[in-house]
Amino acid sequence: MGVNVEKYKEIKHYLDAKEVTLVAVSKIKPVEDILALYNLGQRDFGENYVQEMVDKQAQLPKDTRWHFIGHLQSNKVKYIAPFVHLIQGVDSLKLLQEINKQAIKCNRVINCLLQVHIAQEETKFGMNETELREVQQQGSGLSNVRVAGLMGMASFSDDEAKVRGEFRELKRLQSLVSDHWSLEILSMGMSGDYRMAISEGSTMVRIGSLLFGAR
C-alpha cells in the first residue's frame, strides 16, 4: 500500500508534456503519504474536509499548495483563508462573498474556481449556467478574490460519450463567461477520466486513488 511512485512519475510525465497541472488528492490519506510525493517534487494537494486540511497544513512544509476541492460551508472559510492556495468549489455568490471577507481579514487575495454542475447525478454540487452568469456579474467587484477558472465533475459512468459531453459543456461555459475574469484554469478530470478530460481542454486534473490507492 502507500504511494504508487511509478504511477506518479508516469502521470506526471504525461501531464508535464501537455502542460496540465496535477493536484494530488490526498483526502483521508496520512501525512506520510503526502510527504512521500512532496519529496518527489509534488506541491499541489487537494483536500475536501476543512479540519483535515488545517491539521495537515500545520504538519507539512509551508510551500505546499493546498487546494480545497469539495463543498465548502461559508462558516468554515475562516479556518482555511490564511493559507489556502485555490478554492475549487465555489458554488454560490454567498460563498464567494464570504471568501472575500475572510481574505480581506488575512490581507491576501484568494484564488477561486467556480464549480459548475455538469453531471446528471443529483448529488454533485455546482452552479448552472444562469447562476454562473449571476455570480460573474455580481461578484466581479469583490476586491480580494480572484476567480481563475471553472471546476466540474463528470458523471461516474462507463458511457464515454456522456462523460465527454459533460466535459465539453464545461469548456463551452468557460468561453461564455470569461469576460469579467480571465478564466484560464479548467479543472476537470479525476483518476478514471483524466485523459479524456485533457483531450477536451482540461488544464488541471485532480487525481487521488491512482496515486494513493483506493480510499
Ligand X SMILES: *Cc1c(COP(=O)(O)O)cnc(C)c1O
C-alpha cell at 133: 452568469
Nearer residue to ligand X within complex by CB, 71 or 172: 71
C-alpha cell at 119: 453531471
- Contact between 209 and ligand X by CB under 6 A: the answer reads yes
Q: CA-to-CA distance for 122 and 119, rounded, in angstroms?
A: 8
- Contact between 207 and ligand X by CB under 6 A: the answer reads yes
Binding segment toward ligand X, per CB under 6 A, in 98-106, 158-166, 176-184, 188-196: 188-196
Classify burial at 70, counting beta carbons within 10 Å of its beta carbon; exposed 0-12, middle 13-18, buried 19 or more: middle
Do the Cβ atoms of 166 and 119 come closer than 8 Å? yes
Ranges within 57-116 binding ligand X (CB under 6 A): 69-70
Q: How many CA atoms lie within 13 A of 180 on its CB side?
A: 15
Contacting residue, 126, 139, 152, 208, with ligand X by CB under 6 A: 208
Contacting residue, 25, 81, 86, 103, with ligand X by CB under 6 A: 25
Question: Which positions touch ligand X (CB under 6 A)?
Answer: 25, 27, 48, 69-70, 153, 190-192, 206-209
